[in-house]
């Protein structure tokens, strides 16, 4: 199929699919609420208070979290793949998720009093801790990647860093009390239902800030497709561009990991699906395409998670693993 | 005019690859940089391009020092084509050549009418118009090299630097590339400097040869007796090298 036609189909159908999935996600749940109940809840129509509360305070927040999380991890994955020029790069592979997890673990397990306080303080503190964790790992990886020419060495370093951080998190879990441990273990399973209506604005502000930085990086990302040296010869201030991308990934991956737990594989899979659907590597098209794909996939995973009563991470992994296998087979050819 | 003054180039102050290099390279000339493996051709080319900071000394383009120019200023002074083959899936030849307009476009990199015209002219100059919508991972090495040169042409700079543009190409494509580089100097008055191991081709097409040796550089016309003697000394270890 012609690339232009493919892109047009994607532009027309993806918003429709997303809208359908959003409505399906809002209707999925224990309480039986139909489409009219959903619409009336949002438009201030005549519905029971309980229905309005379920839609606005619980399901609406969860669906919004799914959209934000899907967009964030996918865009983050795309930027990592471009920056490191590696199709298997992503926040999960390079240890940024682990860094965010360590920050979150230090906050939840190390300062349980702060975690059990008001939801706004807890939400902001958790996000802050995860941001610092993600930022630290990202900085380490960036310094290492500048010194290591072989990208396989960078990937191995990322995996080793993740393993080391996981060991530290396990040590923290070993010494923590039962309540804090339970909170942390539940957080690691990944849940979109854990985001409260008070936490949603914090999450949305951070993710959208990261998305804005990503949006302003489209030209840099396009130039970085050719490698940092080529990008520099075409006028890119590589150091500044890298720092903006790092800041964006920390805001995106760090925030989502803090509020929803580590979301596996979606950040790796979405950019490849978006590349296939849009037929381009031009980030002016690919970046919004990836955000849309991520939002669609995450909403679909949330519906499946609700239906199966399994953590959302199970769904994203089941979806992501075949894509990784596809990439490996494709690149072997 | 490119002036190189008392230049030391390399990766460590303790062991410079080249030192005490002085040269004045005229504008509008095709200059082939030749030398043995490990002599420092790429190091010198990358230092002239501003990709490698001089260990000491300076390089300037028409009086403007490369070391003091910002990346944006440098991008309007020179274009660079490296040895790396660009094979990005989903990136068309037009996309790649359009990247050459990056120094002139806004934050999103969208092309104006003038930018589109420059891209079209660059594709035309390299004879690659019909490859415009082809993906970079679906074309041959020779075509890929032509598109890389088209990107440099689209960058519209007075100087173009190329690191071994004829490596890995077959004989017809090597000649085609050399002829294209020559035409860039004749038709547009650009200064083109390229490194190569193909001395015969360099001698046939270039205005000047720049011989890079461990003990310094030597610049002269390919046909000069002095250059022939220096090349013999450098490559065949005969005669006397300066």
Contacts of B133 in chain A (CB under 8 A): 3
Q: Which of B37, B119, B45 is nearest to B82 (CA)?
A: B45
pLDDT at B241 over 50: no
B242 is a domain residue: no
Mean per-residue pLDDT for A251-263?
85
The packing angle between helices A96-105 and A178-188, to 10°, is 160
Q: Give the per-residue pLDDT at A233.
A: 94
Distance between CA A176 and CA A147 in Å, rounded? 37
Q: Give the per-residue pLDDT at A322.
A: 85
Distance between CA B222 and CA B31 in Å, rounded? 10
Q: Predicted confidence band at A2 (pLDDT cuts at 50, 70, 90)?
A: low
- Give the pLDDT confidence of B81-117 residue by residue, as tens digits: 998 888 888 899 999 999 999 999 999 999 999 999 9
Domain total in chain B: 1
Among A210-214, A298-302, B227-231, the minimum mean pLDDT is found in: B227-231
CATH of segment(s) A70-332 = 1.10.3470.10
Measured in angstroms, the CA of A93 and the nearest CA of chain B are apart by 21
Which of B71, B83, B97 is the best mutation test for A, with the most CBs of A within 10 A?
B71
Mean per-residue pLDDT for A268-294?
94
- Give the pLDDT confidence of A52-91 residue by residue, as tens digits: 888 888 899 999 999 999 999 999 999 989 988 888 787 7
Task: Give yes or no for A216 touching B (CB within 8 A).
Answer: yes
Mean per-residue pLDDT for A221-244?
91
Tokens of A327: 């990439």
Out of A230, A233, A275, whose CB is closest to B90?
Answer: A275
**What does each C-alpha distance from B78 to A176, B95, B196 come to in angstroms?**
60, 20, 19
Return the higher-pLDDT residue of A96 and B182. Answer: B182
Backbone angles phi, psi at A277, to 5 degrees: -75, -35
Task: Give yes or no for A170 touching B (CB within 8 A).
Answer: no
B66 is a domain residue: yes
Measured in angstroms, the CA of B91 and the nearest CA of chain A are apart by 5
Out of A227, A233, A282, whose CB is closest to B79?
Answer: A233
Mean per-residue pLDDT for B194-223?
92
Measured in angstroms, the CA of B104 and the nearest CA of chain A are apart by 9
Would you list which residues of chain B are within 8 Å, Cβ to Cβ, of chain A?
Answer: 49, 51, 70-72, 74-76, 78-80, 82, 84, 86, 88-92, 95-96, 99-100, 102-103, 105-110, 133, 155
Contacts of A281 in chain B (CB under 8 A): 88-91, 95
- Give the pLDDT confidence of B128-172 residue by residue, as tens digits: 999 999 999 889 988 999 999 999 999 999 999 999 998 878 888
B80 near B61, Cβ under 8 Å?
no
Q: Give the per-residue pLDDT at A152.
A: 66
Nearest chain A residue to B111 by CA distance is A219
Contacts of A226 in chain B (CB under 8 A): 84, 86, 88, 96, 99
Distance between CA A82 and CA A275 in Å, rounded? 12
> In this predicted complex, what is the ipTM?
0.92
pLDDT at A149 over 80: no
Q: Which of B156, B169, B132 is nearest to B77 (CA)?
A: B156
Tokens of B107: 């934050």
Q: Which of A78, A118, A105 is nearest to A165 (CA)?
A: A105
Measured in angstroms, the CA of A140 and the nearest CA of chain B are apart by 23
Q: Put residue A240 in one of left, alpha, beta given phi > 0 → left and psi -120 to 50 → alpha.
A: alpha
DSSP A152-212: HHHHHHHHHHHHHHHHHHHHHHHHS-HHHHHHHHHHHT--STT--TTTHHHHHHHHHHHHH
pLDDT at A109 over 60: yes
Distance between CA A157 and CA A24 in Å, rounded? 41
Contacts of A225 in chain B (CB under 8 A): 88, 91
Burial grade of A8 (CB within 10 A; 0-12, 13-18, 19 or more): exposed
Expressed as residue numbers, the domain containing B137 is 2-236
Distance between CA A12 and CA A7 in Å, rounded? 9
The packing angle between helices A3-27 and A283-308, to 10°, is 30
B241 is a domain residue: no
What residues does B217 pair with on adjacent strands?
Answer: B212
Out of A219, A284, A286, whose CB is closest to B102?
Answer: A219
B150 is a domain residue: yes
Measured in angstroms, the CA of A327 and the nearest CA of chain B are apart by 12
Burial grade of B7 (CB within 10 A; 0-12, 13-18, 19 or more): buried
CA B105 centroid distance within chain: 23
A299 near A22, Cβ under 8 Å?
yes
Out of B51, B102, B107, whose CB is closest to A235?
Answer: B102
Per-residue DSSP letter, B66: G
Q: Which of B80, B109, B136 is nearest to A229 (CA)?
A: B80
Helix ranges (H only) for A225-311 are 228-233, 238-249, 255-260, 266-278, 283-308
Q: Give the per-residue pLDDT at A89.
A: 81
Task: Give yes or no for A281 touching B (CB within 8 A).
Answer: yes
Using alpha carbons only, what angle is made at residue B112 by residues A220 and B115, rounded to the nearest 5 degrees?
A: 80
- Give the pLDDT confidence of A179-188 residue by residue, as tens digits: 888 877 777 7
Return the higher-pLDDT residue of A327 and A40. Answer: A40
Chain-wide mean pLDDT for chain B?
91
Contacts of B79 in chain A (CB under 8 A): 233
Q: Predicted confidence band at A151 (pLDDT cuts at 50, 70, 90)?
A: low
> Between chains, do B99 and A284 touch, taking CB under 8 Å as contact?
no
Return the higher-pLDDT residue of A4 and B178. Answer: B178
pLDDT at B30 over 60: yes
Distance between CA B196 and CA B162 in Å, rounded? 9
Domain residue spans of chain A: 70-332
Q: Give the per-residue pLDDT at A117.
A: 55
> Between chains, do A222 and B110 touch, taking CB under 8 Å as contact?
no
Measured in angstroms, the CA of B89 and the nearest CA of chain A are apart by 7
Residue B142's domain is classified under what CATH number? 3.40.50.300
> Between chains, do B80 and A222 touch, taking CB under 8 Å as contact?
no
How many other β-carbons are positioned within 10 Å of the β-carbon of residue A95? 27
Q: Give the per-residue pLDDT at B178.
A: 94
Distance between CA B86 and CA A202 in Å, rounded? 41
Q: Which of A257, A271, A297, A255 is nearest to A162 (CA)?
A: A257
State pTM to two decimals.
0.89
The packing angle between helices A283-308 and A200-215, to 10°, is 150
Backbone angles phi, psi at B213, to 5 degrees: -130, 165
Return the higher-pLDDT residue of A153 and A253. Answer: A253
Q: Which of A317, A268, A273 is nearest to A292 (CA)?
A: A273
Alpha-carbon dihedral angle through residues A218, A223, A228, A234, given to the nearest 10 degrees: -120
Residues of chain A with pLDDT > 90, as a percent, come to 34
Backbone angles phi, psi at B57, to 5 degrees: 80, -170
Largest CA distance in chain B: 57
pLDDT at B31 over 50: yes
Distance between CA A287 and CA A281 in Å, rounded? 9
> Between chains, do B75 and A235 touch, taking CB under 8 Å as contact?
yes
Contacts of A275 in chain B (CB under 8 A): 89-90
DSSP A108-135: III-HHHHTS-HHHHHHHHHHHHHHHHH
Q: Give the per-residue pLDDT at B242.
A: 44
Burial grade of A328 (CB within 10 A; 0-12, 13-18, 19 or more): exposed
């Amino acid at each position: 199929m012609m690339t232009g036609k493919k892109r047009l189909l994607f532009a027309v159908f993806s918003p429709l699919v997303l809208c359908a999935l959003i409505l399906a996600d809002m209707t999925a749940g224990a309480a039986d609420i139909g489409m009219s109940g959903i619409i009336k809840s949002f438009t201030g129509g005549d519905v029971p208070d309980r229905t309005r509360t379920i839609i606005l305070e619980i399901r609406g927040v969860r669906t919004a979290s799914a959209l934000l999380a899907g967009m964030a991890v996918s865009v983050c994955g795309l930027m990592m793949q471009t920056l490191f020029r590696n199709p298997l790069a992503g926040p999960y592979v390079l240890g940024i998720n682990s860094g965010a997890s360590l920050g979150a673990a230090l906050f939840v397990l190390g300062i349980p009093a702060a975690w059990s306080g008001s939801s706004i303080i807890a939400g902001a503190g958790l996000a802050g801790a995860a941001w610092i964790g993600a930022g630290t790992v990202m900085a380490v990886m960036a310094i290492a990647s500048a010194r290591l020419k072989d990208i396989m060495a960078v990937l191995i370093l990322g995996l080793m860093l993740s393993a080391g951080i996981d060991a530290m998190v396990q040590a923290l879990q070993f010494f923590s009390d039962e309540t804090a441990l339970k909170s942390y273990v539940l957080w690691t399973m990944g849940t979109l239902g854990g985001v409260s209506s008070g936490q949603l604005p914090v999450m949305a502000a951070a993710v959208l800030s990261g998305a804005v930085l990503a949006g302003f990086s489209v030209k840099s990302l396009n130039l970085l497709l050719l490698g940092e040296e080529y990008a520099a010869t075409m006028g890119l201030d590589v150091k500044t561009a890298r720092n903006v991308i790092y800041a964006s990934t920390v805001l995106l991956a760090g925030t989502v990991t803090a509020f929803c737990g580590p979301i596996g594989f979606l950040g790796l899979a979405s950019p490849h699906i978006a590349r296939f659907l849009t037929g381009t590597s031009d980030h002016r098209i690919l970046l919004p395409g990836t955000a849309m794909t991520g939002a669609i996939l995450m909403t679909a995973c949330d519906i499946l998670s609700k239906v199966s009563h399994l953590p959302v991470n199970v769904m994203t992994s089941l979806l992501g693993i075949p894509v990784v296998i596809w990439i490996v087979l494709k690149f072997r050819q | 005019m490119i002036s190189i003054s008392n230049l030391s180039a390399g990766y460590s102050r303790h062991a410079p690859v080249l030192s005490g290099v002085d040269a004045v390279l005229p504008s509008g000339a095709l200059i082939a940089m030749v030398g043995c493996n490990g002599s420092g051709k790429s190091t010198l080319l990358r230092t002239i391009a501003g990709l490698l900071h001089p260990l000491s000394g300076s390089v300037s383009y028409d009086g403007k020092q490369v070391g003091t120019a910002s990346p944006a200023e440098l991008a309007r002074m020179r274009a660079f084509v490296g040895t790396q083959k660009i094979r990005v899936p989903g990136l068309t030849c037009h996309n790649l050549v359009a990247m050459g307009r990056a120094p002139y476009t806004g934050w999103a990199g969208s092309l104006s009418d003038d930018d589109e015209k420059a891209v079209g002219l660059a594709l035309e100059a390299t004879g690659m118009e019909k490859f415009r919508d082809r993906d970079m991972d679906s074309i041959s090495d020779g075509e890929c090299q032509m598109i890389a040169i088209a990107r440099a042409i689209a960058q519209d700079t007075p100087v173009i630097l190329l690191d071994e543009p004829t490596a890995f190409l077959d004989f017809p494509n090597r000649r085609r590339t050399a002829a294209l580089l020559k035409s860039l100097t004749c038709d547009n008055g650009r200064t083109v400097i390229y490194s190569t191991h193909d001395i015969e081709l360099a001698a046939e097409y270039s205005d000047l040869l720049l011989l890079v040796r461990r003990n310094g550089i030597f610049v002269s016309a390919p046909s000069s007796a002095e250059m022939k003697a220096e090349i013999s000394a450098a490559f065949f270890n005969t005669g006397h090298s300066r």
